[in-house]
Amino acid sequence: MRAAVITKYNADWELKTLPDPRPSPGQVVIKIAASGMCGTDLHVHHGIFGLPLPIVAGHEPVGEIVEVGAGVTSLKAGDRVGVSWAQKGCGRCRACQEQRIMYCQEQQSWMHLGGGNSELMLAWAEGCTLVPKGVSSEAAAPVFCAGFTVFSGLRHAEPRPGDRVAVLGIGGLGHLAVQFARALGLEVVAVTGSASKKSEALELGAQEAIVAGDHAGQALAKAGGADVILSTSNSAAHLSQIIEGLRPEGRLVSMGVVDGPLQIDPMSMMLRQTRVIGSTQGARRDLVEALDLVAADKVKPRLEIYPIEKVNEVRDRLIAGRVRYRAVLQH
């Protein structure tokens, strides 16, 4: 099988032919149709996770099962599935007993089995989720990380009807966050660093879009503030600022890989009874619900689609911040 292999950090990924994987008991082999490229793949590329090389990245994979390992009864060849980051836990720790495998210290992911930038991908059956009819593999792919992440973030914020949701950062995650919040009937204000994205944010469904300027929090407060802020920002400075845009009892949900500690005024938090919530992919039901909203055409991932041969070009385009809004590789 052909795969885009990371053999060296900060260097081009190599298109290589690797042996076809065979499933162990409990595993499946998926013929990948589409594989989204996520900002986290850039951290992998830059060696931030310190993963042993060589490795095949890609944690937004969708394709068709071509082989099932012994003991797999829930899936069969021909099923169209995507694979979550957290595929399987140890089964025995407290988190696994509670069926919250995302907290298992021995959780298995693409890092252990190889990712979706590959013709064939190995996955644990329990890490797979069926892709509903009516959604293309390309549109489903980004839901497995970007969509799942922001939908869980929204659920963690426990929005009430009538709440105003601000989305900080309109990129791969943010463009979906705007649409999911709208699909749940919430009022959405987009906060973006670039004036050029203002009209795009409105097209995505935000009722209002503001440019962050020197201080995103003050800009948001001036525009009426928000009950929920969904932040996809990686910047501790921006995150520290945006807290000022929270309305009383507001919730700031941080979903980015943030580059340092936040500066928070606890007195202001106490008096205004605000909350800061760390959030990543939560319960699997969030993923299923997010896929349903895409299948129902209520949320439309905006894609740039490329053949796998262009993987290095696509990665550099993502580094340069030029992707609108998610790049998906086809095999």
96 scored as a contact of Zn ion (CB under 5 A)? yes
- Is residue 259 a contact partner of residue 236, using CB atoms and an 8 Å limit? yes
User: By CB under 5 A, which span of 66-74, 91-99, 128-136, 195-203 interacts with Zn ion?
Assistant: 91-99
Six-digit token string for 178: 């705007």
Residue nearer to Zn ion on the CB measure, 142 or 217 = 142
Phi, psi of 315 (to 5 degrees): -60, -45
Binding segment toward Zn ion, per CB under 5 A, in 65-73, 97-105, 115-123, 180-188: 97-105
SS3 of the chain: helix, strand, coil, percent, to 5: 35, 25, 40
Q: Is 145 in the site for Zn ion (CB under 5 A)?
A: yes
Distance in Å, CB of 138 to Zn ion, minimum: 16
Q: Could you say which of 40, 84, 108, 137 contacts Zn ion (CB under 5 A)?
A: 40
Q: What is the DSSP letter of 20?
A: P
Rounded distance, CA 37 to CA 326, Å?
A: 7
Stretch that binds Zn ion, among 34-42, 164-172, 267-275, 305-313 (CB under 5 A): 34-42
Cα separation, 68 vs 90, whole angstroms: 20
Between 216 and 308, whose beta carbon lies closer to Zn ion?
A: 308
Shorter beta-carbon distance to Zn ion: residue 88 or 247: 88
Q: Which two tokens stand for residue 185?
A: 């009937």
C-alpha to C-alpha distance for 329 and 66, rounded to whole angstroms: 20
Smallest separation (angstroms) from Zn ion to the CB of 147: 10
Residue among 58, 89, 171, 225 that touches Zn ion (CB under 5 A): 89
Residue with tokens 């979550």: 84
Type of residue found at 65: I
Q: Is 93 in the site for Zn ion (CB under 5 A)?
A: yes
Of residues 6, 33, 34, 38, which one binds Zn ion by CB under 5 A?
38
Token pair 């190599």 in the structure block, residue: 14
Smallest distance from Zn ion to CB 326, Å: 10
- Kindly list the residues in this chain that would bind Zn ion in the complex (CB under 5 A): 38, 40, 89-90, 93, 96, 104, 145
